[in-house]
Every structure is written in C-alpha cells, then in structure tokens.
C-alpha cells in the first residue's frame, strides 16, 4: 500500500502511552522514537560526555552520530533516535560511557 504525504497529514497514531525518564512520566505516541518523545516535552539532553560531562541529546536523528545514547530498560548505550518508545520503557540519563556498573 502506497501512502502519500497528503494522506499522512491526517494520520491518527492512536492513544498516547507513557515512558519513564529519570523518574518522571513522559507521554509518547505509538511509533514515536524515544528521542522524539523527549524532544516533544522540551528535553534536549539525556547523556553527558565522557570527558568534561557536557550535555548531549539527538543530533543527526538517524543513528549515525551516537549523541542520543541513553540507558533504556537497564541497557546502556541505546540510540534513542532509533528505538520506538514502548509503553513502560524506563529511560535514564547516561553519564560518560554508560558502563559504570562494569567497573572498567
């Protein structure tokens, strides 16, 4: 089935659900990426750099730059621009390399 941009304008994605970001509920639409859900709530950074602790969020939006990494459901280094926001997901800000629990 081919869809045209005009048809997509009137698309109804369905009811929103929530994900948890650093302890607060964030609404997300079906099919929306975690990064897009965070952006929609005005959250622009959810990672800090290894050196200097500078804030990062989505940059390229296509999974090429790795600036949007976060810990999702306990798994570090997840590219949030590529992951759909699933009901009940737990997303936490990732600090540095995201492997503090591995003692490296």
Instruction: Please tell me the total number of residues recorded for the chain in this structure.
Output: 104
Question: DSSP code of 7?
Answer: H
How many Å apart are CA 41 and CA 28, to the nearest integer? 10
26 and 38 Cβ atoms separated by less than 8 Å: yes
The pLDDT score that the predictor gives to residue 104 is 41
Q: What is the pLDDT of residues 46-84, one digit of tens each?
A: 998 888 888 889 888 888 888 999 999 999 999 999 999
**Which contiguous run of DSSP H or E holds residue 102?**
none
Q: What letter does residue 98 receive in the DSSP assignment?
A: S
All domains of the chain in start order, with CATH: 14-97 (3.10.20.440)
Name the residue with higher pLDDT: 13 or 91: 91
pLDDT of 102 over the 60 cut:
no
Q: Could you tell me the two tokens for 7?
A: 């048809």
Q: What is the pTM of this model?
A: 0.82
């Amino acid at each position: 089935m081919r869809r045209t941009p005009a048809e997509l304008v009137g698309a109804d994605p369905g009811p929103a659900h929530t994900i948890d970001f650093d302890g607060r509920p964030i609404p997300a639409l079906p099919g929306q990426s975690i990064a897009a859900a965070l952006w929609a709530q005005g959250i622009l950074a959810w990672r800090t750099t290894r050196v200097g602790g500078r804030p990062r969020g989505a940059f390229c939006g296509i999974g090429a730059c790795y600036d949007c990494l976060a810990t999702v459901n306990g798994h570090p280094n997840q590219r949030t621009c590529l992951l759909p926001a699933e009901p009940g997901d737990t997303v936490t800000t990732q600090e540095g390399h995201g492997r503090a629990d591995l003692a490296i």
